[in-house]
Amino acid sequence: MIRYEETGHVFTLETAHAAYQMMADGYGYLQHLHFGGKLGGGSCDGLRPVWATAFSASPQVDVERQRYSLDLTPQEYPTAGGGDYRTPCLSLTFADGARNVELCYASHRILKEKPALEGLPSLHGACETLEITLRDRWADLEVVLLYSVFEEYDVIARSARIVNRTGAPVTLNGVLSACLDLQEDDFDFVHFHGRHAMERMVERTPVAHGEVSVGSVRGTSSHQHNPFVIVCDRSATEDSGRCWGLSFLYSGNFIAAASCDQSDACRVVMGIHPQGFSWRLEDGESFQAPEVALCYSGRGFGALSQSYHKLYRHCLCRGEWALKRRPVLINNWEATYFNFNEEKLFQIAKAASELGVEMLVVDDGWFGNRFDDRRALGDWVVNTEKVRGGMKALSDRLKEIHMRLGLWFEPEMVSEDSNLYRAHPDWCLSVPGRGRSRWRNQLVLDMSRKEVRDFIHDEMAAVLSSADFSYVKWDMNRHLTDVWSAALPADRQGEVHHRYVLGVYELLERMETEFPHILFEGCSGGGGRFDAGMLYYHPQIWCSDNTDAIERLEIQYGSSFGYPISAVGSHVSASPNHQTGRVTPFHTRGVVAMAGTFGYELDLSAITEEEKELVKKQVKQYIRLYDLINDGNYYRLTDPAACCLTAWEMAAPDGSRALLSIVYSHVRANLYPPILRLRGLTPDARYRLTGDDGKVYGEWTGAALMEAGFRPPRQHDAYPHGCADYAAFQIELTRVEG
Ligand code: GLA
């Protein structure tokens, strides 16, 4: 709900459990008032900013009193140059060299829907939108702020559009998407850092008087930092405390920063990273900054995560596969790497199909002369030496054994040893006259150029039309360096990063519109582009190249803070694991992969009979529990980094059933496993707890399980599946009474 009170110019946006309030103050500046718990229909315009103190200048309009300072006023969209020395959302240079912008309220409208953002991902679905236009006091430059209210999810989607009507070009030096000026300190900043094969590790650090900031200037959102952060009370836990989430619907360079100012107020900002960014905005043009999904929870991290999970499933992911059950797949990458032919693929698929698996994904190596990773990226033509008869013959054969077919592409890359590179050496990002950085022997195509996108589109479309495909894995295996486009003049090179992302989005949109039945999965060396921007184009993303079940516990734990289970690509792979050499039971690998999209990535034709039986059981179990796993409320019961076991729970929203998963990761002698207090059950109902091996643990009331808790079985009590180390338990709760 959106309310505007004319006297006082107060805007209130209300969701199920939260209120967002701001006002155009006496001088016309748009002040932030509140984002937090509901206000009972009232206003908090009494929260006047502190008086200007020494060395905080007053703007021209306050010259008589000199009591008001933008440096101390909580703002909705702070700008540089006008006396606010904190982190700005907007910094620019006018044609005359002036750099100060002073935005004042000009007008507003309330729309009954959510406008799409041209060329960018954005949330959709039932909501109201407040559009506030701010205008510079001195020049005809406008900023249009959008606030869309997703009531059910406690989410406000924010974005900003800069419109130049000054009669001359303007250079944008930094355009962030959202600012949250919280009027307190004592907050923590929770962010998700990592590296290749170890993405989204949770780190919690106090917000202090210097800036805490994370971001990426790698051209993608990256493995190293994720464009999702949480600011929270220092005391916030999974179940209590105030938390503010900021999730960026964007897949390129980003910044998320928080700091306390001299008055101990905390400013949090998020947007495109200003480093290396500049954009020439001609007169009459506008620049659209990407969207930030802001979410508030007064009930800790758990409720915050659940809001994002539901929001992203229902209002971000699109297309046929957004909510539909995805096929259980077998991917040949870790089974064969580059060493396969169509017969080997068929044998793996046949073994998989006999065990209930539904789709074969042919990973890297099916095209051009791609016998290793030194060549052929860009030549998206089937290598018929490897796949004799081509993809049509393979898909026809697979149909006979009721298997669907999926294919890997890495559309944004080119190898120097490729026909594409030989024909168009200037199509990659590189600076003439300088050396270029390589990673994995490849260069990055200049996706800002339409002719490059058209070429890749035509190649991909030809392959995808040649056979019956159900799935595409869209990979991206290096970060951008030497960012320079042959298609842009020298003074516009600061635009290349963002134009690259827009180009990728355009190509994705085109491919997915043309092939609506295909399920697209994102990937970037695993989870290097695991962000809400990408989820708009594909409903699932390969979570990490690390398929070690024990390391995955931490990776999937971190991912769960901001992203739903249905987004998390997760497979059972071989043991010893290819990334870590760790040996884990097959059962444990299944339990961990079921906290994701679930599939296999090993040679299923070469596993033992006992393992085959487990695969059959796991596939059936996953399909049977699919709705509970994906539509259930997700609860993190332990922190894997701090506990001898990792436990999580999915509970049906109506409390009728739940699934409890427990994996031991750090076992010691005489260990007392921690009591797990379950969540999301009906207090008065009685639940039976049954293991996936049929063992009945007992029956207890929801209240007993939630208040007193459940002591997990010991690792020794595991099951007869191979070694006992890293034991896992999957326990189903069924309501038997009440
Ligand atoms: C990336 C992906 C892997 C696999 C390889 C193929 O690393 O993350 O899953 O597809 O590329 O080269």
Q: Is residue 297 part of a domain?
A: yes
Pocket test for ligand 1, best of 545, 568, 577 (most atoms within 8 A of CB): 545
Q: Which atom of ligand 1 is nearest to the CA of 524?
A: 8
CA distance linking residue 20 with residue 18, whole number of Å: 7
Answer yes or no: is 575 within a domain. yes
pLDDT of residue 332 exceeding 70: yes
Give the ligand 1 atom nearest the CA of 601. 9
Q: How many CB atoms lie within 10 A of CB 381?
A: 14
Rounded to 5 degrees, what angle do the CA atoms 257, 263, 265 make? 40
- Protein residue whose Cα sits closest to atom 12 of ligand 1: 364
Do 604 and 651 sit in the same domain of this protein? no
Whether 324 is covered by a domain: the verdict is no
Q: How confident is the model at residue 669 (pLDDT cuts 50, 70, 90)?
A: confident
Q: Which residues contact 563 (CB under 8 A, 6 or more apart)?
A: 228, 308, 309, 312, 530, 532, 535
Residue 268 sits in the same domain as residue 247? yes
Contacts of 594 (CB under 8 A, 6+ apart): 570, 618, 621, 622, 625, 629, 661, 730
Residues 644 and 507 in one domain: no
What is the number of domains present in the chain?
Answer: 3
Distance 249 CA to ligand 1 centre (A): 24
Closest ligand 1 atom number to CA of residue 523: 8
Same domain, 486 and 364: yes
Q: Are residues 145 and 232 in the same domain?
A: yes
Query: Which protein residues are within 6 Å of ligand 1, measured from CB?
Result: 333, 363-364, 408, 475, 477, 523, 525-526, 542, 545
Q: Are residues 159 and 301 in the same domain?
A: yes
Please provide residue 102's backbone torsions phi and psi, each rounded to the nearest 5 degrees. -130, 95
Model pLDDT for residues 423-445, shown as the tens digit of each residue: 999 999 999 999 999 999 999 99
- Where does a domain end: 315, 341, 376? 315
pLDDT band at 720 (very low <50, low <70, confident <90, very high): low
Domain boundary at 291, 315, 339, which?
Answer: 315
Judge if 506 and 644 occupy the same domain: no
- Predicted confidence band of residue 721 (pLDDT cuts 50, 70, 90): low
439 is a domain residue = yes
Residues 614 and 644 in one domain: no
Ligand 1 center from residue 350 Cα (angstroms): 23
| Residue having the nearest C-alpha atom to atom 1 of ligand 1 | 525
Q: Is residue 321 a part of any domain in this protein? A: no
Residue 320 belongs to a domain: no
Residue entry with tokens 């107060």: 10
| CATH number of residue 579's parent domain | 3.20.20.70
Comparing C-alpha atoms, which of 176, 185, 178 is closest to residue 156? 178
Could you tell me where the DSSP H helices lie in 221-327?
A: 300-315
Are residues 142 and 44 part of one domain? Answer: yes
CA of 526 to the centre of ligand 1 (A): 7
| 213 CA → ligand 1 middle, Å | 30
Residue 733 CA to residue 696 CA, distance in Å, equals 10
Q: What pLDDT was estimated at residue 496?
A: 98
| DSSP code for 368 | T
Same domain, 613 and 681: no
Whether the pLDDT of residue 716 is over 90: the answer is no
Whose structure tokens read 């406000």?
Answer: 156
Q: Which residues are catalytic?
A: 531, 611
Residue closest by Cα to atom 2 of ligand 1: 525
Amino acid identity, residue 133?
T
Q: Are residues 302 and 375 in the same domain?
A: no
Which of 363, 442, 543, 546, when mutated, tests ligand 1's pocket best, judged by the most ligand atoms within 8 Å of its CB? 363
Q: Closest ligand 1 atom to the C-alpha of 373?
A: 12
Determine the structural domain holding residue 42 and report its residue range.
Answer: 2-315
Mean pLDDT score, 202-208:
98
Q: What is the pLDDT of residues 535-585, one digit of tens each?
A: 999 999 999 999 999 999 999 999 999 999 999 999 999 999 999 999 999
Alpha helical stretches, state H, 382-495: 390-400, 419-423, 450-465
State the CB neighbour count (10 A cutoff) for residue 30: 24
Distance 132 CA to ligand 1 centre (A): 44
Give Cβ neighbours of residue 240 (< 8 Å, ≥ 6 apart): 299, 300
How far apart are the C-alpha atoms of 23 and 3, rounded to whole Å? 11
We report the CATH number of the domain holding residue 709 as 2.60.40.1180
* Residues 614 and 708 both lie in one domain: no
Taking Cα atoms as reference points, which of 630, 627, 602, 407 lies closest to residue 520? 407
How far CA 334 is from CA of 354, 565, 596, in Å, comes to: 20, 23, 18
- Tens of pLDDT, residue by residue over 376-407, are 999 999 999 999 999 999 999 999 999 999 99
Which of 292, 315, 338 finishes a domain?
Answer: 315
What pLDDT shows up at residue 365?
A: 98
Which pair of structure tokens corresponds to residue 407? 């294919």
Percent of the chain exceeding pLDDT 70 equals 99
First vs last C-alpha separation in the chain = 36
- CATH of residue 249's domain is 2.70.98.60
Task: Confirm whether 562 is domain-assigned.
Answer: yes
Q: Is there a domain that residue 618 lies in? A: yes
d(CA 24, CA 431): 47
Nearest to 502 by CA among 111, 133, 183, 219: 219
Between the CA of 364 and the centroid of ligand 1 the distance, in Å, is: 7
Mutate to test the pocket of ligand 1, among 475, 542, 546, 601 (most ligand atoms within 8 A of CB): 475
CA 581 – ligand 1 centroid, Å: 18
Predicted TM-score (pTM) above 0.95: yes
